[in-house]
Structure 1
Amino acid sequence: MNTVLASLNAKYIHTNLAIRYLKAAAAEYQIELAEYTINDPILNITGDLYAKKPDVIGFSCYIWNIEETIQVAKMLKKILPEIKIIFGGPEVTYDVPYWLKRLEHDADYIVVGEGEASFKELLDYLSGKINYDQVRGVASLIDGRMHLTPQPQKTDLKTLPSPFRFAEDQADLRKRITYVETSRGCPFQCQFCLSSIEVGVRYFEREAVKEDIRYLMKHGARIIKFVDRTFNISRSYAMEMFEFLIDEHLPGTVFQFEITGDIMRPEVIQYLNDHAPEGLFRFEIGVQSTNDHTNELVKRKQNFEKLKRTVTMVKDGGKIDQHLDLIAGLPEENYQSFKQTFNDVYELGPEELQLGFLKMLRGTGLRINAADHQYVYMDHAPYEILSNNQLTFDDILRIKHVEDVLEKYWNDHRLDDTIHYLTTEVFETPFDFFQDFGTYWDQKGWSRIGHQLEDLFKRLYQFIEESKHETLPYTTYLMKKDYLQKHKFKPRKPWWDKEDINFSNLYDLLLSNPEIAGEHFASLNLKQKELHKHTVLVEGLKSIEGKPVQVYLLAYYDPKTGSPSLFEFTKEQTATSTTF
């Protein structure tokens, strides 16, 4: 019996942990793993699976791949009518009658919930070893009626074999994200999240997890992401794992965790600040909303002051990048309330701020009680909301404008100094900047076309020129500074129009009096050829002690490392040495 376990991942760099657990649990069978992306042509995926001549195919189903997976299954059933197709995963675990009806001609079985035992038993049945009524946790249509066998008891995670020891995975470990789980379940009851449905938290065997991580690092894994819903729910467990990873990590490895910010103990953060190498850890913290009433409605317990303490301590430590999440569209959070949420979280200065929109996931309390808040949402995955009793569709679109430019201008960190200035000194609040610019961006049609790096600068310049013209001189100077310091090589053609300025005299002055640009620049001891070949010189206007001052910015790109060094000096400093 030729069996294939397949998944359509969101991106190539992702891997699917579920199908690896299933293969490990059914090790007595010959099972091939097949991974694609949702952007691959459906015909190409189907053709590749067809070439494997499978008798059985199992698909791992999530909100991001269910529609594409169904298309593949439909096509396979047409060209291989005898094939047995199994769907499993969180997307098809809930509303099983709906899925059985919709997939009547496309899938033969649905594995409901945790799949290791059920999938193995289903293969036992298909290979003739057991009767169908001995298969637990599987749904199917028999004579047009739903047949769902009782689910097995929750798996003792300590008994599961490792999903990481397949030789065929080794070649790609360095190039892709490796997902690891050390626990299943979540202690919280957030009504928008599937994790709220399972009661309690179960843990894998600690030493086995450590051995898996050692194996993964030894064979090249560089990005290891823990998928535990709340990695730090047990302080002692989290500390043990942090200590292990600090002591045994290999250079270049990065570990990512989903952290609940308001329960993180200060002494744990202090330990990480004192002992963790910079860049080893990355935290993802779901804030979602700072509106207390909204959090109460979705049964989300959150102490924002303690969360702020955690984020601030981590940021001050300078060792760990933080990714903070927001959700627009939660109950009773209107446009103004969400604006406050955004500003509250943006003020914390996370390295990345993810703005997402509520998805009404099957099985969640929020979807079951959607009428309470007049939710209107997409019929098909990802079930994103279109409106509710607090947000109109116009409001949703406006917030999407914010999301678009937030991703390009903050999360990509192309213009950090510029954006900081605009969000703190020019616009009333950070949200106002991103909203005004995002709406302008959409009105210009830029959201429908591609862009190069230089385009990001030119478009921001155009927006500021039209909306905040009085700030343009200093904004332009900061944009030039951001542009020059983010490059790893001397830019060939900067984004700004060529300045009609002859810097020859100033270059001569820098050669004869390099101290004008500071001791560090003087210590470089640059010759004339090096100065002209490896530097960029621009002028600008900035405010010093409340007065506008003309300044020069010199960017030197080290030909050995490519790293830029920036030197700033005023026109007055040059005047003390020459009549330049």
Structure 2
Amino acid sequence: MNVVLATLNAKYIHTSLALRCLKAFAEPEFKVDVAEYTIKDPPMAIVSDLYRRKPDVIGFSCYIWNIEETIVVIDMLRKVLPEATIVLGGPEVSYDTEEWMRRLPAVDHIVMGEGEETFRDLLRELAGSRKFHFAFGLAYRKNGEIVLNPGRPKLDLGTLPSPYRFAEDVPALPNRIVYFETSRGCPFSCQFCLSSIEVGVRYFDIDRVKADLTYLIDSGAKLIKFVDRTFNIKRDYALEMFRFLIENHRGCVFQFEITADIMRPEVLDYLAEHAPPGIFRFEIGVQSTNDETNLAVKRRQNWSKLVRTVTKVKESGKIDQHLDLIAGLPHEDYDRFRQTFNDVFALGPEELQLGFLKMLRGTGLRIEAEKHGYVYMDRAPYEILGNDLMPFSDLARIKRVEDVLEKYWNAHRMDRTISYLTGEAYPSAFDFFQKFGDYWEEKGWQRIGHQLEDLFARLWAFLRDDANPEMDLELTLGLLKIDYFLQHKYKPRKVWWEERVDKDEWAGLLREAAAGLGMEERELAKRAALERLPFDYAVWTAEGRVSRENETLLVVLYGGEEAPPKLVSLARGGSRVGRAIR
């Protein structure tokens, strides 16, 4: 048989671990090809490529982010390859499977749950006697009826071959994300998450894990994301893995999902002392800081211990942190979610991901949706449209917060400015992002594209129009200019603000800066951007206060692709020189 396993990834840089696990288990009995596309690819292009492969069996890995696009492809394939066997698997079709079989007549089989052994057994039956009732965990059709076989016991992970060592994957390793698992299962019972359905955690042998990671690193992998639901649930295992990766990273970056409130102090101390800066990233699901909410979704979370962990990691300066929130959880209205947002933003994560509750098939929250008055999308991703405390109007407003949060905080285009606005100029971070998000939508900017200078100019337009009495506009404009200059590797050809320095004055500023830095004027003119600030920037950076005793001559020196720009502030009229290097 010619077997092809396919999926539609969210982005090109993503790779499918599931397909490789199925392929590794099915071989050497069956030759299996892997075909990966993206949800942005035209269905006709996907179908044409699969048709060219002339498959006898086509399997699709299905998730909430790709199921609707996959259905379009399946319906087309059934018409052009009427004899092919079409199989679905993955978390999206492992629940309500009979409903999926009824909805999708083009599908012959669905693999439910952990799929390696079930898919291999299906291939055996397709190649042999076709007695599908022998394949546990399989849904199929018989005489027009839908049959769901009993589920199979959990696999012994020690019997699974490695999915990381296919020679055809090696050329792309430096340019794509490698997904890696050291365990399966989750110890927690969060009712919005599919992982809560599987009880217990199983681990792969640690020596095998180390060998696979060494192979990937040696083969050129640059970013490995661990898909373990709670990487640090087993302290000794996690500590040993951290130690191994620190000793063998060779420039590769590793991302983990961790539960912050169970991270042991000795692990944090070890990472603070030994982890090289930049090789680890932590993703931490906070979701809500409301105890009543966490209790309702069966989520155990010790906020004080979580804060301790996030703070200690941040203070070490070694590890970037990505913190997650979910809007729309039970017992959390708009005002209470505002508090959750501000609680988490105050921790200063490098990235704050604001998501919206999705009523996933099989989860406890979906089963009890009526209890909290939930209404949600009928089709994937099943995002909520409201509940008894959070109407659609509030969710729509929070969506505007998400939009500008992504552009202006998570992208780190203007950290100095946003830190001032969220920390001093507005009552809270949430209030700033909400006001700006409302303004952004009012202007219709969500429907158009944005260059770098557009983002700065639009924030400045909002700040001028908002007329916030608590904000120092001159300080804000100065910080915006600094952030803009530091976003460039080379001296920018244009600026987004109205320049008020004439040619003669600029020449005078150049002479002053050259003298202060001990550089030739001609060399400085090529490499530097100059700007006047009506306050003392060195005092601001050192003491956090605005001093207008000295004007600042701002000099930004550019070093090209290899060297980041260097910011130098010269206090005009005084001998003091303050330096701040990004």
Is the TM-score greater than 0.5? Answer: yes
Please say if residues 489 and 560 of structure 2, whose CA atoms lie closer than 8 Å, have aligned partners that are also in contact: no
Please say if residues 261 and 311 of structure 1, whose CA atoms lie closer than 8 Å, have aligned partners that are also in contact: yes
Do the aligned partners of residues 311 and 159 (structure 1) sit closer, same or farther apart at CA in structure 2, a change above 3 Å counting? same
1:14-93 → structure 2 map (5 Å cutoff): 14-27=14-27, 28-93=29-94
1:519 is aligned to: none
Greater Cα shift, 122-131 or 73-82: 122-131
2:265 is aligned to: 266
Give, as a single letter, the amino acid of the residue that structure 2 aligns with 1:508: R
Structure 1: distance between partners of 2:147 and 2:422? 58
Please say if residues 534 and 559 of structure 1, whose CA atoms lie closer than 8 Å, have aligned partners that are also in contact: no
1:254-403 → structure 2 map (5 Å cutoff): 254-403=253-402
Structure 2: distance between partners of 1:489 and 1:270? 39
Deviations 1:400-424 (A, max 9, x none): 0000000000000000000000011
Please say if residues 552 and 569 of structure 1, whose CA atoms lie closer than 8 Å, have aligned partners that are also in contact: yes
Do the aligned partners of residues 291 and 559 (structure 1) sit closer, same or farther apart at CA in structure 2, a change above 3 Å counting? closer
2:484 is aligned to: 483
Structure 2: distance between partners of 1:244 and 1:301? 30
1:140 is aligned to: 140
Do the aligned partners of residues 338 and 414 (structure 1) sit closer, same or farther apart at CA in structure 2, a change above 3 Å counting? same
Please say if residues 376 and 386 of structure 1, whose CA atoms lie closer than 8 Å, have aligned partners that are also in contact: yes
1:149-548 → structure 2 map (5 Å cutoff): 149-250=149-250, 252-468=251-467, 471-501=472-502, 502-511=505-514, 513-514=515-516, 522=517, 525-542=518-535, 547-548=547-548
Query: How much has 1:142 moved relative to structure 2?
Result: 1.9
Query: How much has 1:486 moved relative to structure 2?
Result: 2.6
3-state SS, counterpart of residue 535 of structure 2: strand
Structure 1: distance between partners of 2:496 and 2:144? 65
TM-score, with normalisation over the residues of structure 1?
0.95
3-state SS, counterpart of residue 93 of structure 1: coil
Structure 2: distance between partners of 1:342 and 1:548? 34
Query: How much has 1:167 moved relative to structure 2?
Result: 1.0
Do the aligned partners of residues 575 and 482 (structure 1) sit closer, same or farther apart at CA in structure 2, a change above 3 Å counting? closer
RMSD: 1.5
Please say if residues 110 and 138 of structure 1, whose CA atoms lie closer than 8 Å, have aligned partners that are also in contact: yes
1:568 is aligned to: 569
Please say if residues 7 and 35 of structure 2, whose CA atoms lie closer than 8 Å, have aligned partners that are also in contact: yes
Structure 2: distance between partners of 1:338 and 1:146? 44
1:518 is aligned to: none
Structure 2: distance between partners of 1:88 and 1:528? 66
Structure 1: distance between partners of 2:358 and 2:562? 45
Query: How much has 1:490 moved relative to structure 2?
Result: 1.0
Structure 2: distance between partners of 1:499 and 1:415? 23
Give, as a single letter, the amino acid of the residue that structure 2 aligns with 1:487: H
Structure 1: distance between partners of 2:183 and 2:98? 29
Please say if residues 489 and 562 of structure 1, whose CA atoms lie closer than 8 Å, have aligned partners that are also in contact: no
2:542 is aligned to: none
Structure 2: distance between partners of 1:186 and 1:203? 11
Any gaps of 5 or more consecutive residues in structure 1?
Answer: 515-521
Structure 1: distance between partners of 2:368 and 2:285? 23
1:8 is aligned to: 8
3-state SS, counterpart of residue 542 of structure 1: coil
Query: How much has 1:506 moved relative to structure 2?
Result: 2.5
Query: How much has 1:574 moved relative to structure 2?
Result: 7.8
Deviations 1:313-334 (A, max 9, x none): 0000000000000000000100
Deviations 1:141-181 (A, max 9, x none): 22332211122210001110000111111111111000000
Query: How much has 1:206 moved relative to structure 2?
Result: 1.0
Greater Cα shift, 533-542 or 47-56: 533-542
Greater Cα shift, 494-503 or 226-235: 494-503
Do the aligned partners of residues 508 and 389 (structure 1) sit closer, same or farther apart at CA in structure 2, a change above 3 Å counting? same
Give, as a single letter, the amino acid of the residue that structure 2 aligns with 1:572: G
Structure 1: distance between partners of 2:459 and 2:546? 25
Deviations 1:115-160 (A, max 9, x none): 0000000000000156222111101222332211122210001110
Do the aligned partners of residues 80 and 570 (structure 1) sit closer, same or farther apart at CA in structure 2, a change above 3 Å counting? same
Deviations 1:420-451 (A, max 9, x none): 00011110000000000011001111111110
Query: How much has 1:575 moved relative to structure 2?
Result: 12
3-state SS, counterpart of residue 548 of structure 2: strand
Do the aligned partners of residues 272 and 575 (structure 1) sit closer, same or farther apart at CA in structure 2, a change above 3 Å counting? closer
Please say if residues 15 and 176 of structure 1, whose CA atoms lie closer than 8 Å, have aligned partners that are also in contact: yes
Give, as a single letter, the amino acid of the residue that structure 2 aligns with 1:189: S
Percent of aligned positions that are identical: 59
Structure 1: distance between partners of 2:283 and 2:498? 40
Query: How much has 1:568 moved relative to structure 2?
Result: 1.1
Do the aligned partners of residues 575 and 566 (structure 1) sit closer, same or farther apart at CA in structure 2, a change above 3 Å counting? closer
Give, as a single letter, the amino acid of the residue that structure 2 aligns with 1:200: G
Any gaps of 5 or more consecutive residues in structure 2?
Answer: 540-544, 578-582
Deviations 1:55-82 (A, max 9, x none): 1000000000000011100000011111
2:113 is aligned to: 113
Structure 2: distance between partners of 1:388 and 1:267? 42
Query: How much has 1:560 moved relative to structure 2?
Result: 7.7
Please say if residues 46 and 72 of structure 1, whose CA atoms lie closer than 8 Å, have aligned partners that are also in contact: yes
Query: How much has 1:547 moved relative to structure 2?
Result: 4.3
Query: How much has 1:495 moved relative to structure 2?
Result: 2.0
Give, as a single letter, the amino acid of the residue that structure 2 aligns with 1:335: Y
Please say if residues 98 and 148 of structure 2, whose CA atoms lie closer than 8 Å, have aligned partners that are also in contact: no
Do the aligned partners of residues 574 and 280 (structure 1) sit closer, same or farther apart at CA in structure 2, a change above 3 Å counting? closer
2:104 is aligned to: 103
Give, as a single letter, the amino acid of the residue that structure 1 aligns with 2:568: F
Structure 2: distance between partners of 1:321 and 1:51? 44
Give, as a single letter, the amino acid of the residue that structure 2 aligns with 1:352: E
Structure 2: distance between partners of 1:551 and 1:464? 22
Please say if residues 324 and 355 of structure 2, whose CA atoms lie closer than 8 Å, have aligned partners that are also in contact: yes
Do the aligned partners of residues 323 and 87 (structure 1) sit closer, same or farther apart at CA in structure 2, a change above 3 Å counting? same
Please say if residues 488 and 563 of structure 1, whose CA atoms lie closer than 8 Å, have aligned partners that are also in contact: yes
3-state SS, counterpart of residue 93 of structure 2: helix
Please say if residues 513 and 553 of structure 2, whose CA atoms lie closer than 8 Å, have aligned partners that are also in contact: no
Structure 1: distance between partners of 2:172 and 2:447? 34
Structure 1: distance between partners of 2:546 and 2:104? 68
Structure 2: distance between partners of 1:34 and 1:559? 40
- Alignment partner of 1:128 is 2:104: no
3-state SS, counterpart of residue 174 of structure 2: coil
Please say if residues 489 and 563 of structure 1, whose CA atoms lie closer than 8 Å, have aligned partners that are also in contact: no
Give, as a single letter, the amino acid of the residue that structure 1 aligns with 2:522: K
Structure 2: distance between partners of 1:489 and 1:329? 44
